[in-house]
Structures are given as C-alpha cells and as structure tokens.
A = this chain, B = another copy of it.
Amino acid sequence: MTNKKGWKTVLYETVFEADTRAGKLFDLTLLVLILLSTLTVMIETMPEIPKVFGHYFYKLEWFFTIVFTVEYVLRIIAARKKRRYIFSFLGIIDFLSILPAYIGIFISGAQVFLVIRIVRLIRVFRILKLAQFIGAGNTLRTALLASRHKISVFLLTVIMIVIVSGTTMYLIEGAEHGFTSIPRSIYWAIVTLTTVGYGDIAPETFLGQTIASLIMILGYGILAVPTGIVSAEMIQMKSHDKLSTQVCPACMRDGHDSDAVYCKYCSSKLN
C-alpha cells in the first residue's frame, strides 16, 4: 500500500470499507447513530412519554435525517460504480430511510422511516472483524441458498393449502363467525397452519372445528419439512469441511476428500 492516495480513494476506504482506522471509526459512529436514531423514533411513539418532550424528539430526528443525508451523499460521491450502489439493497435502504422525511416535511412523523436503517446492523460483525460470526453467517446463507428450490416447492404447497382450506372454511363458517370474506379466511388459515393461533377468528361450528383440527395437525406435522431440508443441508456442509482444500496440480480441480492420494479426475498425485 502506498502512502499517497487520492482523496477519492481515502473517501472510498473510509465510507465503504472498515480496514483503515478512519473507515472503522466511520462505521462504528454510523452504527451508534443508527442505534440512537432507532431508539429515538421508537421512544417518541410511546404514549408513556410526556408530550412536552415531543419538541426535542422532533429536533433529534431531523438531526439524524440530516446526518444520514450527508452520509448518503458521501457514499454516492465515493462509490466507483455509482449506479450500482444506488440500486443495491443497502443503497435503497439508505435512500428510503431519509426520503420520507423530506417528502412529508410538513407532516411530523415521517422520520419514522429512519428505523429501516436498522438492517445496516448486520454489518456489525464485519466491522468488529469477528471472523467466526462472518463464517457462521456465510454458512447459514449458503445452506439457505442451497435449499431454495426445495423451500420454494414447500412454500407453493403451503400457499395452495391455505387458499383451499381458507375458502372451505368461508363456505362452512360464514360471515357470522368472523369468516367475512375469502381473503380473511385465508388469513385465518395462515394463522392456524403456522400454529400462531391469535384467536381473533376461530371456528364455532362442529364441522368447522373438525376441519380446523386437520389443518392444525397438518401445520404441526409439515413443520418437519423445512426443518428437515435445512438440517440435511447443514449436515452436508459440515461434512464438506472434511474435504481438503487441495487443488490437483495437473488438472487444477478441487473438491478432493481429505484422505485422497490421487486426483479423482485425472489420476495425478496430489501433494
């Protein structure tokens, strides 16, 4: 690394990375500001807080809005591929967390959107250089990605079950027992199948309770399916750890078992 860097490089390293001293400080300050702004927004909405403090909360929220606006502008200036940052997941989050405050400039309360910036917290492990947590996060992401096809099929099946059973319950129970429309009955079916069970809508006829019982047992049982999918994936990833990181010197392919002596693809000796 050379000592002389352009201000753009310095800005980039400060704003987007956490390897330099300045970058680390920037990120830590940002995390603290995000936590404080989230707390401010939350506390302001509590009815227990006397109204006389509302004035201070309002000022605090505008302070955070302006700080995050400066941060957003700095990120755009620093980004090498500006378009890519702006339309990235975190770029959109950064934008959405300040925009409503300006749009609703005359309507108090739009600063509540500062809260969505909380998703930046996920970077806490990266900033604190906690390699184990980053590794754990990657393992989870990989396991979920690897099982995305199975989970999609499972979700589609669940959607069909709740549509059919919601409609059935609408016909059986009807509006007088709270099943006022098919969408509301489907909402009830989701509440039941996922074993949440608010009880705001509950079947009252004998037939309705019988079908509800079947849906509950189904929901209780098929919970085993996503769990089985993710468990199997995680166990396989654990056994992948037993793979060596050796690359065949002849054909350059990897993925050899740790007890392999010869390349399984080209029979060259591994060393």
Contact = CB atoms under 8 A, between A and B. Distances in A.
Interface of A: 38, 41-43, 45-48, 112, 115-116, 118-119, 121-122, 124-125, 132-133, 135-137, 139-140, 143-144, 149-160, 163-164, 167, 170-171, 180-184, 186-187, 190-200, 202, 206, 209-210, 212-213, 216-217, 219-221, 223-239, 242, 254-257, 259-269
B140 A225 contact: yes
Contacts of A116: 164, 167
A152 B221 CA distance: 11
B163 A149 contact: no
A164 B115 CA distance: 7
A226 B224 contact: yes
> Is the contact region of chain A dominated by helix, strand, or loop, or is it mixed?
helix
Contact of A234 (B42, B139, B171, B231): B231
B266 A264 contact: no
Contact of A136 (B45, B122, B150): B150
Contact of A212 (B187, B217, B227): B187
A211 B90 CA distance: 22
23 contacts: A38-B163, A41-B182, A45-B180, A115-B182, A119-B160, A122-B160, A133-B149, A136-B150, A136-B153, A186-B213, A194-B219, A196-B197, A196-B219, A197-B199, A227-B231, A228-B230, A228-B233, A229-B234, A231-B231, A231-B232, A259-B265, A261-B265, A263-B264
In the complex, which of the residues A121, A184, A198, A265 has the most CB atoms of chain B within 10 Å of its own CB atom?
A198
Contact of A267 (B144, B183, B235, B262): B262
Contacts of A154: 140
Contacts of A235: 231-232, 235-236, 238
A116 B164 CA distance: 6
Contact of A122 (B115, B151, B156, B262): B156
A187 B170 contact: no
In the complex, which of the residues A45, A153, A213 has the most CB atoms of chain B within 10 Å of its own CB atom?
A153
B265 A171 contact: no
Contact of A238 (B171, B191, B232, B256): B232
Contacts of A149: 132-133, 135-136
A125 to B, nearest CB: 7
Contacts of A221: 151, 155, 226
Contact of A191 (B143, B216, B227, B256): B216
A209 B42 CA distance: 15
